[in-house]
């Protein structure tokens, strides 16, 4: 019987996500192989985690950070990352750039282009990227825009959008799910006590995810990770609150500007202006008094 944890760390936090797959343990190694197999839809038998950041190729080049940089047994390279919240980046451009850099950092193979390894840039997104497509899993390669034929499939970009995962009503349906959807569901629900029965069914159906749960449980025993998670959550709330306040302040400034314009035109009552711009009548009276003072000073 599995040793249950009442509380699990949030695996959608990028540092925890990375830790699940990079521990020096058999469970962590098996979890990484299982995850990669699910994402690229090929059996990954061996994988090595490499240096996180490839060296810049020239002075002043923009540095990039890889969360988990892997090399498979056949030379295939893969970069895996978790995007826990929408940073309003150009994710399509960013992903293509990362995939190209990943391919260019592979060992040179001389003139034998048949041996050029494939590269996968894999992003798990805890937000909706493509609002016009309900599919949670996207695999992009270079294709002909006229007929859709693929090129060499050297560069591959994969997005897994957690917000689009199907709702699982019955645990019996889990066995029929693609492995990538099982992994996505685990990452989305592992820290939710209400979803424990669902997680149990998923881990029982997928050994690699069971290993990931073992690693996550061990990480959850580290109180410093909880402190770090609380700090990051607090920072994100502050950022979100700051954006909300900034938006509200901007809207309020626009309302005030509109109200002052209407007052200067002197064609509407204060009550009509208040209703039209969405400000309290008291604020309109205050603005009217300020405007009257300004006019008096100009006349003097």
Contact by Cβ (8 Å): 51, 165 = no
Could you give the dihedral angle defined by the CA atoms of residues 242, 247, 251 and 253, in that order, rounded to the nearest 10 degrees?
50
Which token pair is 136?
């949670």
pTM metric for this prediction: 0.73
Handedness of CA 61, 62, 68, 71 (dihedral sign): negative
Reading the block at residue 105, the tokens are 């950092």
Residue entry with tokens 């995962």: 165
The answer to whether the CB of 144 falls within 8 A of the CB of 181 is no
Question: Per-residue confidence of the chain (300 residues) as pLDDT tens digits?
Answer: 444 556 899 999 988 999 999 999 999 999 999 999 999 999 999 999 986 554 444 344 444 445 799 999 888 999 999 987 777 777 888 888 888 888 887 665 555 777 788 999 999 999 998 888 899 999 999 999 999 898 888 999 999 999 999 888 776 678 889 999 999 999 999 999 888 989 999 999 999 999 999 999 999 999 888 888 888 777 666 555 555 666 666 777 878 888 887 787 777 888 888 888 888 888 888 888 888 777 666 655
SS3 for the chain is CCCCCCCCCCCCCHHHHHHHHHCCCHHHHHHHHHHHHHHHCCCCCCEEECCCCCCCCCCCCCCCCCCEEEEECCCCEEEEEEECCCCCCCHHHHHHHHHHHHHHCCCCCCCCHHHCCCEEEEEEECCCCCCCCCCCEEEECCECCCCCCECCCCEEEEEEEHHHCCCCCCHHHHHHCCHHHHHHHHHHHCCCHHHHHHHHHHHHHCHHHHHHHHHHHHHCCCHHHHHHHHHHHHHHHHHHHHHHHHHHHHHHHHHHHHHHHHHHHCCCCHHHHHHHHCCCHHHHHHHHHHHHHHHHHHHC
């Amino acid at each position: 019987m599995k040793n249950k944890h009442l509380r699990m760390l949030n695996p959608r936090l990028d540092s925890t996500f990375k830790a699940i797959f990079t521990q020096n343990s058999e469970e962590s190694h098996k979890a990484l192989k299982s995850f990669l197999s699910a994402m690229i839809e090929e059996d990954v038998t061996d994988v090595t985690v490499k240096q996180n950041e490839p060296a810049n190729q020239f002075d002043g080049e923009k540095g990039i950070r890889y969360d988990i940089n892997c090399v498979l047994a056949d030379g295939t390279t893969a970069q895996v990352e978790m995007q826990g919240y929408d940073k309003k980046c150009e994710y399509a451009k960013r992903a293509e750039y990362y995939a190209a850099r990943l391919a260019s950092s592979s060992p040179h193979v001389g003139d034998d282009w048949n041996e050029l390894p494939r590269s996968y840039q894999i992003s798990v997104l805890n937000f909706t990227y493509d609002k016009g497509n309900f599919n949670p899993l996207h695999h992009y390669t270079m294709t002909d825009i006229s007929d859709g034929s693929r090129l060499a499939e050297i560069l591959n970009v994969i997005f897994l959008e957690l917000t689009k995962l199907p709702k699982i009503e019955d645990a019996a349906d889990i066995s029929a799910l693609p492995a990538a959807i099982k992994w996505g569901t685990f990452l989305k629900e592992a820290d939710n006590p209400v979803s424990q029965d669902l997680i149990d069914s998923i881990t029982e159906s997928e050994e690699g995810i069971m290993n990931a749960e073992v690693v996550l449980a061990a990480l959850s025993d580290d109180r410093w990770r909880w402190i770090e998670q609380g700090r990051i959550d607090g920072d994100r709330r502050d950022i979100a609150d700051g954006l909300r306040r900034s938006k509200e302040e901007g809207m309020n400034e626009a309302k005030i500007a509109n109200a002052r314009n209407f007052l200067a035109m002197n064609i509407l009552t204060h009550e009509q202006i208040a209703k039209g711009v969405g400000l309290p009548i008291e604020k309109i009276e205050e603005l009217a008094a300020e405007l009257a003072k300004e006019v008096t000073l100009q006349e003097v």
